[in-house]
Structure 1
Amino acid sequence: MHEECGIFAIACNDKAAFNCALGLHALQHRGQESFGIVTSNNNNLFSLHMHGQVNSIFDNMEEIEKLYGMHAIGHVRYSTSGDKSTIQPIVSDCRFGKMAIAHNGNLTNATNLATELTKKGCVFKSSVDTEVVSHLIKISNKETFLDNLVDALNQVKGAYSFVAMTMDEIVGLRDPAGIRPLVLGKIDDAYVLASETCALDIIGASLIRELEAGEVITISKDGELKSLFPFAKEKSSFCIFEYIYFSRPDSVIENQSVYEVRKEIGKVLAQESPPPQDADMIVPVPDSGISAAIGYANQSGLPLEFGIIRNHYIGRTFIQPTEQVRNIGVRLKHNTNNHILKNKSIVLIDDSIVRGTTLKKIVFLLLNAGVREIHLRISSPPIKHSCFYGIDTPQCEKLIANNFSVEEMIKIMDVSSLNFLSIEGLYHAVKKVKRNDESPQYCDACFTGNYPIDIKN
């Protein structure tokens, strides 16, 4: 699976564009298809939109130097809906002047809204749901830009975090259910908004707090920060998969280290599904399985060995262009450490199984390396349902756990055993709480099918 987007904003900073680029670089794991930066000098907006990864801009600093102003918002994208050519932030004109807006998430009623807006004369340049919100802002007749933005979001359903900018202010907000993340930080006199705390770290900003579900933060051009809660209150349903995979391990969520939570997940997994007595070692699938494998190894007492080595210099585009290259894609990205694997019984740790195709190829590599037995342990419950809140998951019929039993998956994957973390074990590892089956504390719809927001509109 892939995260959908990462967003960043900084106000009242004399290196706004450069720090925004650094922040987006730290959020690159959330989207690798494109990135955009828009700055404001209180008189005009300046924008840079590029396909590819953020590090390319650091070889061309003149482009950053053209982004004048003390305020900036930025976005990295992995498209989950709409066309892939549109790069955020989206810049347009409204009756308050120029505005720029970017978001992380997915609006479940975007198609219906776009149809109605088209009937009212709105002309769409893309099919991304961010443009729906842009048009809703434009046609709203409230007194201020913020009022128009709130009015627009009162008409949408889904999961989202937004950053927006005008000549006068920067706005950041989370959806009323708090499904998508957004944090507030500060560097010197500059306030910062970002999808994750790792984006604060890279520019030397300190974390103030996470925005609450349904909270709106405004930062004026003079640096004044205000907080308000204009939306009807909903039950908080933060995406629990941020803990399992999406967030970087060096980020902090709900005052918890993601790295430490993932180790705890591995520990609970070892308690629920201990290794067989004849297992020789724990082997993580890099990089997604490493943190949980450390916890599993610590609990089980077996040594952790890097039996699979990842090539970090293989980009997404490189492994996709031709059928011949696609067929060896796993070998391009992973290689087995044959010397330590031959004739060994291993416990293979990964964070999840989606389609199962990549993991099946990794198992094939391990068996070819001479591994005697592979006992597969997954540090999340089985993914049986699609995500409609901005995560790029396949349709249900393509999810292996939705179509096959564990016994069938063992045969398909060609492993000796397979165990998943239970949903109860996941809640215990993340928050030391029992899952409230009537009103779950997190969004865990990809495991349970319990969607906290209506997906039918």
Structure 2
Amino acid sequence: MENNNNDNNNNNNNIDEYESNEPKEKCGVFAIYAPELDVSRIAFFGLVALQHRGQESCGIATYDEFQSVHVETGMGLVNQVFNETNLKPLKGKMAIGHTRYSTAGKSTIVNAQPVIVQTLHGQIGIVQNGNLTTAKTLRKELMQKGVGFFIDSDVEVITQLLSNNPEGCDPHKPNWENRIAHFMSKAEAAYALCLMTPNGIYGVRDSLGMRPLCLGSLDVPCKDDPTKTITRYVLASESCAIGTIGAKFIRDVRPGEIVHINENGITSFIGRSPSDNPALCVFEYVYFSRPDSSMEGQLIHIVRQRMGETLARESPPPQSCSNQDSIVIGVPDSSLPAAIGYAKQSGIPFTEGLTKNRYIHRTFIQPSDHLRQQGIKLKFNPLTENIQGKKVILIDDSIVRANTIKALIKLIRGAGATEIHVRISSPPVLHPCYMGIDMATHDQLIGHNRTIEEIRQYIGAESLQYLSLEGLMKSVTVGIKPQSESQSIPCFLNSSPTTPRVKINENNQKHCVACFTGDYPCSLDF
């Protein structure tokens, strides 16, 4: 195995202190099996499309025809870590890739993924999105069996569980499906992972479906006869990455499903019976996913626009606002669709009010003291001519710690706004997340410690109102299309050797809303 750790970016400085006040998704994962193509280059562009899901580190690993693994990882953004020189050695017929934001394990090069492990049946590589909610218990059980750990990311717990032969299985055979099913029986949530083995790539999603994973296809010319094509398959955290590489979105990987991709095409198994109470993280709709991604058969942009429309019905503009003297603006980028929806429903015109510098949050250049004092201005600039003399209805997707929204209100008021009314397209965040999102602790969540009126006073707005939980869930669920209708893929899957044949309940569409309610959908050992 060739392993190149690119740690040149260890000195990256997050010069925007306000970046830490936003909720962070843990990771993005990508995988492709296509011997005919330059898989590392395709993985690179897939990861660029998933950059929003993690900016601390990234990596790509490939498996070649000689059963050798090649891997490159580094700290920083995808286009900072990878270049023509270090992509070229990543030869192979399949590849997995990862972008990381740490929520379990420190932000160091040793915790960068993919993680490569030598097993009795060859090397395997793993990339993961999420947190094992029982990682502490599983780690202790493995250590009691004499297993040692080298990193503090829970992905190593996964690799160790996969390396151990399940009881009743022939130790002389790889039995990857059984090994994965055994791992899934031990780990309820929360994970979506891609596993690269000598036998091909496996995509795995936990039985609650908490973290997203989707499947796509790519028709490529045959090596032996370029006039003919062969269908190859890709996996990604979001459909935007599938579209970026020119592949066709097929469907979401289902809760509890194991998807196997190799030279013969694709097969599917039930690794763990899907929960009767699926729990896709609702923050994928609120904030995390790119607006051009689709989940559960609906475009994220459209869902966010519906949130804005519902918000306008529940919390209309104050009577002092009219379409002559008022504007609706959104905090770029994730809040813009909700702002468009709010404007459409309320009749108050939407306009651009803030410009976001998308390239300032990570840099090699240390800012001067003068620039540090600029604070939020390093990230956002107001469009003064649009704002001056106007009553502003400011739409944001969420308030976690409130430092950013407070600074933005000061910035907008400084640009000449006469009134600022804040509308949030999700309910108050009251509880931390333990399932793969860096969403503070109770004492850091302003919604947990203060009333809405106290938050309004703290951020300095004329008014503050949130979308109700009922309004959020109606906006999310009204457009869901069961996969049996939206894609011509059968609901029945092949049974795993260790689990019975199961029919997935495609119509039971539920979501994790624990950050709003404190009702966690799975066991926790934190």
TM-score norm. by structure 1 comes to 0.95
Aligned pairs for 1:26-425 within 5 A: 26-42=49-65, 43-56=67-80, 60-85=83-108, 86-141=111-166, 142-143=169-170, 144-188=175-219, 189-220=231-262, 222-234=263-275, 235-279=277-321, 280-316=326-362, 326-425=372-471
Report the alpha carbon displacement of residue 225 of structure 1 after superposing the two structures with TM: 1.0
SS at match of 1:153: helix
> Residue 7 of structure 1: which of 29, 39, 45 is its match?
29
Residue 140 of structure 1 contacts residue 152 of structure 1 at CA under 8 Å; is this kept in 2?
no
> 1:443 matched to which residue of 2?
512
Report the alpha carbon displacement of residue 306 of structure 1 after superposing the two structures with TM: 1.4
SS at match of 2:190: strand
> 2:491 matched to which residue of 1?
none
**Unpaired stretches in structure 1, ≥5 consecutive residues:** none
Structure 1 letter corresponding to 2:301: Y
The 1-side partners of 2:372 and 2:509 are apart by 40
Distance 1:400 1:253, change over 3 A: same
Distance 1:345 1:403, change over 3 A: same
Structure 1 letter corresponding to 2:267: K
The 1-side partners of 2:444 and 2:363 are apart by 23
Moved more, 329-338 or 195-204: 329-338
Report the alpha carbon displacement of residue 327 of structure 1 after superposing the two structures with TM: 4.3
**Unpaired stretches in structure 2, ≥5 consecutive residues:** 1-22, 220-230, 481-507
The 1-side partners of 2:386 and 2:76 are apart by 37
4+ residue runs of structure 1 moved beyond 4 angstroms?
Answer: 317-327
Residue 73 of structure 2 contacts residue 81 of structure 2 at CA under 8 Å; is this kept in 1?
no
Post-superposition Cα deviations, 1:6-47, rounded to whole Å, max 9, x if no partner, equal: 000001242211111110110000001111111011321111
The 2-side partners of 1:41 and 1:15 are apart by 11
Residue 319 of structure 1 contacts residue 329 of structure 1 at CA under 8 Å; is this kept in 2?
no
Distance 1:38 1:313, change over 3 A: same
The 2-side partners of 1:325 and 1:139 are apart by 53
Structure 1 letter corresponding to 2:279: S
Residue 319 of structure 1 contacts residue 332 of structure 1 at CA under 8 Å; is this kept in 2?
no
Post-superposition Cα deviations, 1:284-311, rounded to whole Å, max 9, x if no partner, equal: 1111211100000111111112121111
Report the alpha carbon displacement of residue 219 of structure 1 after superposing the two structures with TM: 1.2
Residue 184 of structure 2 contacts residue 271 of structure 2 at CA under 8 Å; is this kept in 1?
no
Moved more, 109-118 or 96-105: 109-118
Residue 319 of structure 1 contacts residue 325 of structure 1 at CA under 8 Å; is this kept in 2?
no
The 2-side partners of 1:323 and 1:180 are apart by 40
Identity percentage of aligned residues: 42
The 1-side partners of 2:355 and 2:441 are apart by 31
The 2-side partners of 1:258 and 1:350 are apart by 16
Moved more, 273-282 or 98-107: 273-282
Post-superposition Cα deviations, 1:322-381, rounded to whole Å, max 9, x if no partner, equal: 876554331100111222222321100000000001110111111222211110000001
The 2-side partners of 1:318 and 1:61 are apart by 20
Distance 1:319 1:394, change over 3 A: farther
Pairs aligned (count):
451
Structure 2 letter corresponding to 1:454: S
Report the alpha carbon displacement of residue 118 of structure 1 after superposing the two structures with TM: 2.2
Residue 83 of structure 1 contacts residue 126 of structure 1 at CA under 8 Å; is this kept in 2?
no
SS at match of 2:447: helix
Residue 376 of structure 1 contacts residue 418 of structure 1 at CA under 8 Å; is this kept in 2?
yes
TM-score norm. by structure 2 comes to 0.83
Higher relative contact order, structure no. (Cα contacts within 8 Å, ≥ 6 residues apart): 2
Moved more, 144-153 or 376-385: 144-153
Residue 30 of structure 1 contacts residue 78 of structure 1 at CA under 8 Å; is this kept in 2?
yes
The 2-side partners of 1:376 and 1:223 are apart by 54
SS at match of 1:107: coil
Structure 1 letter corresponding to 2:86: E
The 1-side partners of 2:179 and 2:474 are apart by 41
SS at match of 2:186: coil
